[in-house]
A and B are shown apart, each in its own frame.
Chain A
Amino acid sequence: MSAEAAARDDPFRGNPWTRAAWVALAVYVVYASAQMELSWERVLTGAENASKFFGRMFPPNFDRWELLVKGLVESLEIAVLASALGILIALPVGFAAARNLMPAWATWPARFVIVACRSFHPVIVAILFVKAVGFGALAGILALTVASVGFIGKLFTEAVEEISLKQVEAVRATGAPFASVLAFGVLPQVFSRFIGFSTYQLDSNLRNSTMVGIVGAGGIGGTLFAAFQRFDYDFVCAILIAVISLIMAGEVVATGVRRVFLEGATLAGLFRRGGRPAEARLMEDD
């Protein structure tokens, strides 16, 4: 039977190579788990330990709430400042790295900067900055700025490289200077994605800002780690609840920012129920 005739019998016939690959993957998963001594006994013992541990965490202890609030506020400040600084730097660096707009002498250094910023986990960068500028929030802000530049810069460059150059060409044809071509031809095409990346990075910075404290770069992370080491598990629980609330609040703010910038909602409209402004779209045969 020819291959085509065989396909007529069963159009959904699988590829034997794909199936073999899935089997190989399953075998490897089992093998790797065995190598790493992942067993049900350990899970069960662990579950017992975990329940004891969780028992000591409840009820959460908010007695030292001033310390908690101080740490949270510092984390928030680190996150907001790092995001603002990161966005400010990522915008020109991201543009400079776009190969469809800029010459090689601009794109290569810019891409290098972005890759360097992206390479390391924020906590490692925080350790470096703590060594450089000392303990405290400054190290945290600098570390998260680096992380922001890496993330936003990379995604922004990719967004710029995907724009329609026809629109840019039309603006250039009017004799506009380069900055105006960027402002009128390029930026409108990438602005909404830029806002999306920025709000995502704000959320990410909020999470990371609670972490950099563990290495001494300020924020609630230090308080959390100290409480853990002192076996104050009920205070740990209070801190965790506070952090979750902070992240949730941050998400609400981020959604609000996106709605304001991208859908033209007014501040009042944000609080109206289901307040999404209607957009009239004309039919093609008008």
Chain B
Amino acid sequence: MRGRPGLITDYRREMAVFPSNTSAAWFGMLVVVLFWLGLNLPADLALLGATAAVASVGAIGLNIVTGWAGQISLGHAFFLGLGAYSGAVLGGDSGGRVTGYGWEMILWLPAAGLVAAAAGLLVAPLAFRLKGLYLAFVTLGLVFIGDHIFREYKSMTGGQGVGRSAAPAEIFGWELGKDGNVLGVFLEKEQKFYFFGLLLLLVMGLLAKNMVRSRIGRALGAIRDRDIAAEISGVPLARYKVIAFVVSSFYAGIAGAVLWMFIGFIEPSEFNLLLSIEYIAMVLIGGVATISGSIMGATFITFLPRIVDWASGFLPFISDSLTEGVLTAPQVEEMLFGALIIVFLIVEPLGLYGLWIRIRNYFKAWPFSF
């Protein structure tokens, strides 16, 4: 693309996955760097990277329903939990108190998404019966009721304080959960997770990107901006709200199943309001209605505990125990979620994505101010 890459003259380019060949090249380089990192990162960072990649899948899901379709969903934790448990029940072994069917990953992974999507389909009718604010409460209620079900349905979840093991990490005969050779390269368990997460994110991210730049994405955006106007222009509200919810919960289901596969163990009280808020924070901090923003936000939030941990080394008011210092590290993290949500909403509603655009534009125009 020579000449003026910023000038967009036709609709096809406006809607393209990559606005120019340059950006496609940058993207390719980014992927190469990420793969190179996977081979060289220490185990703990590789695991964080893997978690960030899969959390991005979940955040993209939430962004579809909240960012594009404009329906506040506080219920993402419920769908994540549903995915995690579907994976564990379908893929796990039956033994002791919990049931399991021992399916292959290639079966249980999509199935986990589908179970969550089915739940989304059940919730969706409420979404077109109720509007905006009331919907937020319904999804909030979903988290609490889901939390109750997860605690009490003991043959599925093991019950509170007991938990169950998650689905085994094995695909096409490759043991992801153990160190070993893959295609002739020795990889640690965390590195395998990292590559798996990265591939999953690539596939799911591209799928989502293609969905939001199609007819569906435009319809969802129209519903968000003005639902009545959208309906008058011939967008069937009910159908597209259902699509948004189903796709979003499918993504959440997949993300939940894989995230807890990494952890290896599911404790039923994890799927609470705070988890939902974490995902809301990812979407808001990253950037509403952008795929790359979701990924940035998810990565940032996933690495936040690590950053706080590192900062506690030289910030004396953060401590590890409840009795020393002013705040404990988990408390600081929680407060940072809250504070970041507030700051980004007030100062930069476009999130990290908006910050990135600003920085890019600054350097594009440098040394001029505009």
Say whether A associates with B: no
- Chain A residues within 8 Å of B, Cβ to Cβ: none
Residues of B within 8 A of A (CB): none
